[in-house]
Chains A and B, each alone.
Chain A
Amino acid sequence: MDKFCINENYTLYEAIESIDENKSRMVVVTNDEGIVIGVLSQGDIIRALISGHTIYNRVNELLHPNFIYMHEHDIKKAFDIFKKKGITLLPIVDDSFCLKSIITMKDIYRYIENE
């Protein structure tokens, strides 16, 4: 799960590295308490760089706090959300927004195959 997740104090550079490694086009961002506070996509990073930010800016200046999440791991529901929203990662969080797991495109493909 580590490669899908970065701390809010990481730089854009580190976020890009993480996205490069996870091949999911986005990362989940947590704070020091391990609480999910947003997500950051490849597109967000490109937009940030175009508008004058540098790769050394911190991700907490740029992330979207209005991310899509689920409290329960429900792959069928997740499939609907992926389809409708075009997202590539879906964090599953507990009641206090600590990260429990992440649903990726891979999980979705597996679900489609089995259906």
Chain B
Amino acid sequence: MKKIMVLTGSRGEWGYIRPIMRLAKTRDDVKIILVVTNMHLLSSYGSSYKEIENDGFTIDYKINMSLDGYNHITHAKSLGICLMSLPDIIDVEKPDWVLLAGDRGEQLMGAIAASYTYTPVAHIQAGEVSGNIDGMARHAIGKFVHMHLASNNDAFIRLKKLGEESFRIFNVGAPQIDEMVQSKYTTIKELEDKMHVDLSKRYVISVFHPVTEQSSKAGTQAELLIKCLNEIDLQKIVILPNNDAGSTRVKDAIFNNRRGDYYIYSNLKREDYLGLLKNATFIIGNSSSGLLEAPTFCIPSVNLGRRQEGRCRGVNVIDVPFDEKMIKEAIDKAMSKEFRSYLDLNCKNPYGDGHSSERILDLLMNTKIDEKWIVKKLTY
């Protein structure tokens, strides 16, 4: 029996971890120790630890770490509280592995606690590029962990270049793709009954989120998007953004500028969304779905602006800035038969084939820990 300690502090990385937890549940040679902290435990962020429990998992430890104030000072100080609590749990549980994911501060604390206690530690979604302080945390985590679980080749190569030893780095794909590949999609027939959209006609899906640093521009950006959509002869299925800064401007821009056949949703069930995506003519906006999910179905994705900058992408993604002429050209390309048949032949999801969790769990279960693993050498 091996013990794997998992740390989660927000909904983001829980999406990477959940498929692995599900898989572990089906095996009797592994026990997961689930440590839940930070945003999951805050009512102002929706007490998402309840969702974890509703998914059927038992939380072994809760670390309340967040100091009130939510500014840079309390953020940094809160991380200290998280770090103070983790070694005691490691001491009691003595896990065979600590499994971390993503780029948040509490994951970095997990990396420090594990490496300083000489506990083997592995990192999902290693080696990628992400913005601001999180991007720094991701690569700091990389320096502390013993095993890197990269989700794509780009990240794999970056880790090597950063001086990590080759035997520690694995390109396993992104585990959040697993649930998508395994999940059932709602059929077009069921969707038509539910949504009152004639899905036998062609349609485009638009998902546009305001970018935090550009929230004041979000309204004009969304207006431009809707203006371009108005000119194409497809039905439009629009999914509204979450309540981040700038989201009201985006909503107003959509409501006030749409012309013709628009169907607007504030949220869709995952299996409904995937059923729609699978049959869409193309997807437009700045959602990660265009990079992570659309390539599995060979769906063209027109990606606007900088929200997904630096992320690995497949051949289905057409990147454009907020420029009317360029967006229209990109839409023409996305709708063309040539591009579609090119994708049918050449499009692969760079984030994997839906079997990442199996690879990750196999690696953790089958790797024999010895001095070579625990004592790190930097190759550069």
Interface residues of A (CB under 8 A from B): 31, 33, 35, 37, 64-66, 68, 71, 81, 85, 95-97
Contacts and interface: CB of A to CB of B under 8 A. Distances in A.
A37 B255 contact: yes
Contacts of B259: 95-96
Given A31-B255, A65-B264, A65-B266, 5 more contacts: A31-B252, A31-B256, A35-B255, A66-B266, A68-B196
A97 B196 contact: no
17 contacts: A31-B256, A33-B256, A35-B255, A35-B256, A37-B255, A65-B240, A65-B264, A65-B265, A66-B263, A66-B264, A66-B265, A66-B266, A68-B196, A71-B260, A85-B196, A96-B258, A97-B258
B195 interface: yes
Contacts of A65: 240, 255, 264-266
Nearest to A85: B196
Interface of B: 195-196, 240, 252, 255-256, 258-266
A114 to B, nearest CB: 25
B218 to A, nearest CB: 18
B255 A97 contact: yes
B267 to A, nearest CB: 10
- Of the listed residues A31, A71, A81, A97, the one surrounded by the most CB atoms of chain B closer than 10 A to its CB is A97
A64 B266 CA distance: 8
Contacts of A97: 255, 258, 262
Contacts of B261: 71
- Of the listed residues A71, A81, A95, the one surrounded by the most CB atoms of chain B closer than 10 A to its CB is A95
Nearest to B265: A66
A95 B259 CA distance: 5
Nearest to B238: A65
B256 A95 contact: no
A64 B259 CA distance: 19
A33 B265 CA distance: 20
A65 B265 CA distance: 6
A65 B238 CA distance: 10
Contacts of B252: 31
A68 B259 CA distance: 15
A89 to B, nearest CB: 14
A81 B256 contact: no
A30 to B, nearest CB: 10
A35 B260 CA distance: 13
